[in-house]
Amino acid sequence: MSSNKRMDVPAGLDLGPHLTPVSIRHPGLGLTWTVLAVLENWTTFAVPRLGRYAAETKRFRVRVSGPLPGDPSAVGEFVMVIPR
């Protein structure tokens, strides 16, 4: 059974050529994932709030290998979306 559960966590990115992610780290849990493929990349624009200027956020949808989100003791592949 497939789960499309969304989990937002702080992450550290290691960037490679063309500023694309090559690995992702979860600093609080000490977990690291290796990026196998960048499936998509796009830019989103934030809505200005309280008179601030609009901001851009680059996002990537990547296939990774490493500890599984629901069971960090198991290793596998899955897709995640990350901001840069």
Please tell me the predicted confidence (pLDDT) of residue 74: 95
Q: Is residue 15 within 8 Å of 26, Cβ to Cβ? A: no
Q: Is residue 77 included in any domain, yes or no? A: yes
Q: Which of the residues in the chain have pLDDT under 50?
A: 1-2
Q: In the chain, how many domains are there?
A: 1
Q: Are 43 and 57 in contact (CB under 8 A)?
A: yes
Domain membership flag for residue 4: no
The residue written with tokens 């309280």 in the block is 50
What's this model's pTM, rounded to 2 decimal places? 0.73
Contact 22, 14 (CB under 8 A): yes
1 located within any domain: no
CA pair distance 3, 6, nearest whole angstrom: 9
Predicted local distance difference test score (pLDDT) of residue 1: 42
Tokens representing residue 3 in the block: 């789960």
